[in-house]
Structure formats: structure tokens, C-alpha cells
Structure 1
């Protein structure tokens, strides 16, 4: 469940971002003090230093990402929570417990303070929900027309779970392929806004924190979870094809086992899209030992974030590097990587 916060915007003597807010001078400090530092405050961020001194034990995971999504507000979320959850999820896919984030903004001159504040509030809610601290960051402003309202860069650091052994080299023939939730909601939600499409039911992005589900699964199943991968750009098909090629193994999929919301499926058919290639922001693919696969899926289904988890196929050595989908009527087709950009600026 996404956290909804009520944080009144402070009274400011400016309504729009100007180039002066990126100068490092008075306007920059007013912007940061009234917004970022006060809203996101914690002991490390409050030092307002150029960096942060962190305490970690054991193996650590490190990731970085940039977010340029258009539009910045979309059904089910906005660029702020997308940035937090996206980075947290990347750490979770490494089998890590998310701890700290950096947060950097590139703002376009003319961005309204109201929009910026809404994004900051969403960032605060997402960080609190995921249990991470934002400990350092940066703010720059570019000329009007040289950006697109706001771009966000984040870096995440976490501690690797002691029972985690995530590696593509662990994949073996006989393993089961699991997806954690219904496919394609994020991509279709973004496309509906850009194209002005209306569907019978509201389709919202699946943007969410996946770390709690993955970490609780690692605690229970440990090294029987061989690989975790979030299926963002390129969708599930591209993720699986990449793994098949790198591991020199094949994958057999059953179309009828793939969870897709009925409205999303209808939208994909109308738009000529395959849900297997549409981007997700709250879906991960896992390759697990056959012996624990059904128990693993049943375990995931108890978490709201992974309630539609399903075994969609198996790993095989019969057709190396190929991902083969069996249709509902028994036909077979090979899945390749997404050949180009299906929908630019999806995240």
C-alpha cells in the first residue's frame, strides 16, 4: 500500500524555479532549507555536507539510476516515488537490504514550486515506506527549454542479505521461472496518458517497493533463489532472453500461466503490443530451484506487492540461448530482445 502524506507546502516568496535556484547562493539555500532539508530531514542529511559518512557491515550492494519519465505525474505515481522505488528495487534484486540513497535534481527553469513540492512529498513517503534514508544529493537548474521540468538521479547502497547468493551463474536446467505480479501495467498507464486513451477501468502504474517481498523470501529460501531481476525497460521477454544468452541455456514459457490484468491485455491488443515486452516498475523475474518453486510462489502471494506471482516456465538445456513461448492453443514462438525503443522515457 502506497503511503499518502499530508505535508502542507511552506510559504515561499517564489512560485517558480529560476536559474538563481541553481546558483549555490541565497535562492538555492532558500529552496533547499524550505523544501528538501526540512521535509526529508535525518541526522546525516541535516549536516548538509558534500557527502555522507555511512556505516555498513559485510558485503554491500551499490547501484545508480536516472529518471527522465514523461509525464512526471502519471496514473499511480510520479517521478519522485518512481526514483526511490526504482533504486530500492535495484538493490533488492542484488539480494540487498536498502539502507541509503543519494538524491540529485536537474530542474528546468519555470517548474512550479507546487509540482516540485508534490514530488518531494512523494519522495518522502516512498523513502519512509521502503525504510531508506536520503543522506546526500545535489540540485542544478537548466534554462527553460533545455530540460523537461525535472530529471532525478539516485544512487543506492545496501547490505547484502547473509542468505543471498544471487548470480546468473547459478541458473541450471530444471529451474523454474517465476514472475511476481501482473505484467505491463506501468507501460500501458504511461501510454494512456501520452495518447489520451481512455479505458473502461483505470489502469495505474505498478510502481512500488519490492524489497520487503524479496528479502523475506531470501530469509526463507536463501540460495534456492538463484536470480532476481526487475523487468523494467524491455519487459519480461528481454530479461529472460538476456539471461538465456549469457547462461547458454534455454527457457520454455507457458503463455496461459503469465498473469496479465484483463484491462491491460485489452489495451495491449488494441495498441498492437505484447505484454511480455512492455515495461514494468513493480514486477520482478526470479529463477528458483524446482524443489521450492511452488512453495516460493505461495509465499510471495501472501505479500500485496507480489500477490499475483506465478510460475511461467522452466529452464532447459534443449535449445540453448532460446526463449520459447507455448501459446494457449499449443503453438510455439521464439521470443527475442526488444529490437528498439517501444516507448521512450518510460522511467
Structure 2
């Protein structure tokens, strides 16, 4: 019979389960090695293969303290003492339009949310387009209009950009890359180093909507369901949370790889364990049904309008109330807590009362969803 996390913690060394946990922790402390000779789709999926590629190629070449944090963006201090956040993201989603959004809206929202996760207020963006020869100008107008609407609604100006055209077949319609900059208010600092055992994890809403909506929009599965992407700019929601829970430790938007991957990134970065409670994680019935049909765990499905926050235990109730006061956070819940052991590991307490390890996937079962 499987033990609960509390029993793991009480059992001490000598139990088989504890030995397994220790081996997993030891394995995760090893530096990843890139053994592949060629880039694969898994390298862009946000899982273990992505992390290995980033560590072995990009981090090795560009290593510096800002980059080593491997956050959603970097916060830099200017000579005058002001702090700004920078982030960049490329968008290759297919199809270009899907229920609830488009590549244009997604590009603005995704970059704005990465900035918001650093504590910044998004302000300016640069947009670069790679267009395939033959792409309809009317479609381009519509997508750019979506970007403009999303930026205006979020209080962001698109201040510079670039456009390149490649021959037919060299790109899948269009790709978009956004670089964003935001202002970090004075005194606002958080990161994994401030996370402590006992802290609570808040989730701003239901999971899996975006990845499932895009997957169904491709029309390859023959499944009909009313599922819309949750793509949205979450900065207003973040500001409400930080006002109510000023001791917030850490923020992350669970995009590629979903909540499962984001929690593993947190566990590795802070060195503590993350205990999730399965019965508290909200999944819309239709999303859960589609994922069950396809054998996909919604915990690993991408979201584009949600975020996870680690808050002090005494601020959890106030933080939840603040999130629920906004339409984007109406379904916000506390989904777990930080524990001392098992270190750097994510554990799920299941609805049946048992426990299971929540690991990072090698790749992503739903490629090109952002």
C-alpha cells in the first residue's frame, strides 16, 4: 500500500519508498548531458529535452547571472537604480486562429505574462515577423489587428519591429517573435530563493484549456468540444494579488509543459519539495474528458492565461480573495504547499489518498501550441 507524504516524512531512511525518493533526488542533481546529434521536436517542448538543450548549448555559451536564473524574464538594474524586466518569446502555433484567440493575441499575451511573472508592469514590445511567400495579406491584417487590440487592452505599446519573407515551404504561414520590456516597481523582489517550507501554492484558475483548444482546432482528431483558449494578459490579476499578499515569493505562468513542469522548475530552483493535492486542481469537465480520451494528463497541458503563485501561509486567504475578485481569477484555488522533503521533488497527493511523483516530461504530447 502506498504511503502518504506525511508517512514518507515520518518513516525516515530504510523504507523502500524513501530510498526511491533519494535516488530520484540524486539523479536530478546531476547536470544534464546533451547526447542528441540533431534537434528534435522534443527540444522545443519545454520538458527535460528542452532543459538539456538550454543548459548544454545556450547557457554554456551565454552564461551570466541574469541568464542562470532561467526565469520567464530577466530583471536588470539601470545605472540610476531603476529596474526593468526583459523577456522574449517566439510563437509558432498552428492553426494561426483557434477558439478564443490567434497567434497575434497569443504573442502579446504570452510575452506580457512572462514580464508579469517577474513582477514587472509590461510597457513596450518589439515584434518580428517571418512570413511565408504567398501568405494572404487579408489574414496578415487580421492577425496584426488582434495584436494591436491585445496590446492596447494591456496598456502596451509596440514600438519597433522587423519583417522577413521566406520562400514557399520555408515557413508554416507565419512565425512571430516578441521582445518585451516592463518596469519593476520599487521594492518588488521575489524569486525561488525566498520560498520556504509551509508556503502555499495558489493557482489562478482551471488548467489545460489552451492546449486542448488548439489541439482540437487542428481538426485531426474528429472530436467536437466547446473548449476555448484561456489566452489573456494576467498583469491586472498579478497586481491585485501582490497588493493583498505583499510577501509573495514566486510567480510562474504554466505554459509549455503545464502546471506539472512549472512546479518541477520551482522545486529544483528552491531546493524544497512541492506537495500538490489532486482534488483541488481545477479541470473543466470537457477538458478533462478530452484529455482522458487521448491519454494525456491535463497537469502537463499548456495554459496561456493562468499563473501559479507561492505565497506566505498567513497571506494565502487574502491572496485567494484578491484573485477571485477579478473575472480572470474567479476559479482560483490553493493547490498545495512547499514541504522540506522530499527535496527538489514534486509529489501529488491523489484523490484516493495515495501519493505519486510528478516528474517533468521529456517532451510535450501537444507540440506547437504556442
Q: 1:153 maps to what in 2?
A: 177
Distance in 2 between the 1:266 and 1:198 partners? Answer: 14
**Residues 218-246 of structure 1, C-alpha deviations (whole Å, 9 max, x = no match):** 23322x11000000001101111121122
Cα pair distance change 1:57/1:134, threshold 3 Å = farther
Find out whether 1:122 has 2:146 as its counterpart: yes
How far residue 328 of structure 1 moved from its aligned partner, in angstroms, is 1.0
TM-score by length of 1: 0.81
* Cα offset, 1:306, TM superposition: 1.5
Q: Which residue of 2 aligns with 1:170?
A: 194
Residue equivalent to 2:342: 319
Which residue pairs with 1:215 in the alignment? 239
Match 1:255 to one of 239, 254, 278: 278
1:268-296 superposed Cα distances (whole Å, 9 cap, x missing partner): 11111111101111111111100010110
1:203 Cα deviation (Å)? 0.2
Paired position in structure 1 for 2:212:
188
Match in the other structure for 2:88: 64
Deviations along 1:52-77, one digit per CA (max 9) or x if unpaired, are xxxx9821001111111111111110
Residue among 290, 301, 316 paired with 1:278: 301
Which residue does 1:295 correspond to in 2? 318
Task: Give the one of 231, 234, 238 matched to 2:254.
Answer: 231
Whether the 8 Å contact between 2:208 and 2:298 is mirrored in structure 1 is: yes
Report the Cα distance in structure 2 between the residues aligned to 1:283 and 1:101, rounded to whole angstroms: 21
Kindly indicate whether the alpha-carbon contact (under 8 Å) linking 1:252 and 1:323 is maintained by their aligned counterparts in 2: yes
- In structure 1, the residue matched to 2:124 is 100
Contact 1:96–1:215 (Cα < 8 Å) also in 2: no
| Corresponding residue for residue 13 of structure 1 | none
Alpha-carbon distance in 2 for matches of 1:66, 1:175: 33
> Using the alignment, how far apart are the partners of 1:199 and 1:287 within structure 2?
36
Displacement over 4 Å in runs of 4+: 197-201
Secondary structure of the residue aligned to 2:179 is strand
Deviations 1:81-139 (A, max 9, x none): 10000011011000001110001111000110111011011011100110000100001
Cα deviation, residue 198, structure 1: 5.8
Q: Any conservation in 2 of the 1:108–1:144 contact (CA below 8 Å)? A: yes
CA-atom RMSD in angstroms: 1.4
Cα distance, 1:57–1:262 mapped onto 2, change above 3 Å: farther
Question: What is the total number of aligned residue pairs between the two structures?
Answer: 291
Q: Which of 336, 341, 345 in structure 1 is aligned with 2:364?
A: 341
What is the alpha-carbon distance in structure 2 between the residues aligned to residue 288 and residue 192 of structure 1? 35
What is the SS of the residue equivalent to 2:232? coil
Which residue does the alignment assign to 1:204?
Answer: 228
What are the superposed Cα offsets for residues 285-339 of structure 1, whole Å, 9 maximum, x if unpaired? 1111000101101110111112111100010002111111111111210000122
Matched, 1:131 2:151: no
Q: Which runs of 5+ in 1 are unaligned?
A: 1-55
What runs of 5+ residues in structure 2 fail to find an aligned partner? 1-79
Q: Taking structure 2 as the reference length, what is the TM-score of the superposition?
A: 0.76
Kept after mapping to 1: 8 A contact 2:208/2:283: yes
When residues 89 and 57 of structure 1 are mapped into structure 2, their CA distance, relative to the original with a 3 A threshold, is farther
State the secondary structure of the residue aligned to 1:187.
helix
